[in-house]
Amino acid sequence: MGESAIVTPAPSGRWPRTVVARETARRGVRSAVLWGVIFGVYVTESATGYEGAYKTSGQRHALAQTLGSDVGISAIIGPASHLDTVAGFVAWRTLGVLTVVGAVWGLLAATRLLRGEEDAGRWELLLAGRTTRRGGAAQALTGLAGCALVLWAITAVIAVAVGRSSSVHIDGRSALFLAVADVSGAAVFLAVGALTSQLAPTRRQAASYAGGVLGVAYALRMVADSGAGLAWLRWASPLGWVEELHPLTAPRPVALVPIVGLIAILTVLTVQLAGGRDLGASTIPDRSRPPTRTMLLSGPTGLTVRLVRPVVIGWVVAIALAGLMLGLIAKAAGRALTGSTAMRKLVSDFGAHGAGATTYLGVAFLMVALLLALIAAGQVGAARGEEAEGKLDHLLVRPVSRTSWLAGRLSVATGALVIAGAVAGVTGWLGAASQDSGIGLTNMVAAGLNLVPPAVLILGVGTLAFGIRPRAASGACYAVLAWSFLVELIGGIVNASHWLLDTSVFHQMAAAPAVAPDWTTNAVLVALGVAAAAIGGIVFRFRDLAGA
């Protein structure tokens, strides 16, 4: 027991000067390994999928012609060149998706490992050791670099292995450079997240600042790749620089210069700002004495609204912009769909038919469905966070039942999803209407609301996990989400079996507005979500509250 506890130096005490770096790397490496594997699988799947689906040079040529000239595809994923070769296809498809996925991973990882650890008070313990604030930040950045290296190494090993296969034929050196290009978005946004961790007063704020930077970078890249004669804008966005690397097709290592340069500048700024501020404080001032606002604070559900409001507003703004953008390019992109067998296949895989702006939006709204599902996953994580951090205790030791607290949280989350879906529809309509695309407002709002049921299902699955394995609740949501999205991407390009496609929460969703929403199926999705949430709620009622 306590009286016999003798403090023995931990083995890590051998290098006390690098404890922060090692601790940061240790906390981040698991997700780096996981995402390295996902990156590798995605590269593999792109190569083998292409080999399987487009066997003859005629097919490859047709693919290159249709996708290569498609402005919408180019804007969303990036310009598609050399699609008649496996190398060109792999480079285009992995870069377009992994850069953004990696950037999101990077900014979340950096803000979690820097600002999150600081918020939790663990930094204080580390900095009490033999290091300074500045040194601690430099060490943490080293730890993040370690995570990026792990991500790259795993991606590279798999890419090299795939390249060796006789049908793919990508030499080792090119595969290594492909891996560099695929993870450079992650590397840049690790650094961005580290910097915003110094600027913002909380982890969540830091992540949303970094998310804002990513949004702007993506929008700039998108405009540059929209064929509007603004290609030079690519140099204004880090995501554009990544594109300029042209791995496998026409490698341009010189584009690494701005990438590395930006990371270096962000690193120096991070260390400087960390040294110049108090621990726990932010560079951007946090109003410590705001006016008292008690309007919402009359019960647990009002509190939930108050707590999630900033995050939900951020998401809704992002979704509004995404809807607007997709609406704006829908007409031009839809035109490119006409006469393309490959694109028609892609479209029909999503249940849509024909061509034109509605067809394009039907496919493109899958992206928005993903954003809604991310809101749902985030809400499950937030509910679990209240429990893990002990904040929920303050409510549950008072006359508040667990069921009413959870039901309140789920209602708020569902409300946020409905608002987000409707907003996507309205802004999508605004964008499309400005181009005279001839899509009705009602159809677009219905298409927006059509995105809600899969997100409700995610919310339900997350709540089930929250009841049964609270510590795995967030992970379960993101796992289902990542899996579903990967399945959709795979299914969209290659012939995938139906049992595989059916494991995606998005697959039952009708591709509205290309086709009318299937409200019966939607009702089934919602019912499944509600049932899962109800079981989760009952289990939660009878289990122990669990700390972090």
Partner 1 sequence: MAEPAIHTSGLSKRYADVDALSDLDLDVHQGEVVGYLGPNGSGKTTTLRLLLGLIRPTSGSAEIFGLDCQRRPVEAHRRLAYVAGEANLWPSLTGSETLHLLGRVQGQVDAAYRGELIARFDLDPSKKVRTYSKGNRQKLILIAALMARPDLLLLDEPTSGLDPLMEQAFRHSVHEAKERGQTVFLSSHILSEVEALCDRVGILRNGRLVDMGTLSDMRHLSALTVEATFDGSVPDLSRVPGVSSVEVEGRVVRCQVQGTVEPLLKVLASSGVHELLSREPSLEELFLAHYGRSTDPGTGSLEVPALGG
Residues that bind partner 1 (CB under 8 A): 1-3, 119, 201-202, 286-290, 292-294, 297-300, 303, 306-307, 389-391, 393-401, 542-545
> Which residue, 153 or 400, is less far from partner 1 as judged by CB?
400
Q: Is 248 left (phi over 0), alpha (psi -120 to 50) or beta?
A: left
The conformation of residue 3, written as its DSSP 8-state character, comes to G
Closest CA to 492 of 356, 351, 373: 351
What is the Cα–Cα distance from 383 to 546, expressed in whole angstroms? 12
> Which residue, 57 or 401, is less far from partner 1 as judged by CB?
401
CB atoms within 10 A of CB 442: 11
> Which residue, 229 or 399, is less far from partner 1 as judged by CB?
399
> Which residue, 385 or 492, is less far from partner 1 as judged by CB?
385
> Which residue, 9 or 291, is less far from partner 1 as judged by CB?
291
CB of 386 to partner 1, least distance (A): 9
> Which residue, 121 or 440, is less far from partner 1 as judged by CB?
121
CB of 384 to partner 1, least distance (A): 14
> Which residue, 145 or 392, is less far from partner 1 as judged by CB?
392
What is the Cα–Cα distance from 224 to 235, expressed in whole angstroms? 9
CB of 318 to partner 1, least distance (A): 21
CB of 369 to partner 1, least distance (A): 30
CB of 158 to partner 1, least distance (A): 38
Owner of token pair 């108090």:
278
What is the Cα–Cα distance from 414 to 282, expressed in whole angstroms? 33
CB of 409 to partner 1, least distance (A): 14
What is the Cα–Cα distance from 23 to 371, expressed in whole angstroms? 32
CB of 548 to partner 1, least distance (A): 10
Is 167 strand, coil or helix? coil
Structure tokens at 338: 């006409």
CB 369 within 8 A of CB 339: no
> Which residue, 78 or 201, is less far from partner 1 as judged by CB?
201
CB of 545 to partner 1, least distance (A): 5
Residue ranges in 54-171 assigned as alpha helix (H): 57-68, 71-76, 86-111, 117-119, 122-127, 133-164
CB of 450 to partner 1, least distance (A): 34
Can you give the three-state secondary structure of 497-544, one letter per residue? CHHHHCCCCCCCCCCCCCCCCCHHHHHHHHHHHHHHHHHHHHHHHCCC
What is the Cα–Cα distance from 363 to 355, expressed in whole angstroms? 11
Owner of token pair 């120096």:
268
> Which residue, 14 or 287, is less far from partner 1 as judged by CB?
287
What is the Cα–Cα distance from 410 to 415, expressed in whole angstroms? 8
Burial track 110-135 (b if 16+ CB lie within 10 A, e otherwise): bbbbbbbbbbeeebeebbeeebebeb
CB of 202 to partner 1, least distance (A): 7
Query: What string of DSSP letters covers 367-378?
Result: HHHHHHHHHHHH
> Which residue, 120 or 256, is less far from partner 1 as judged by CB?
120
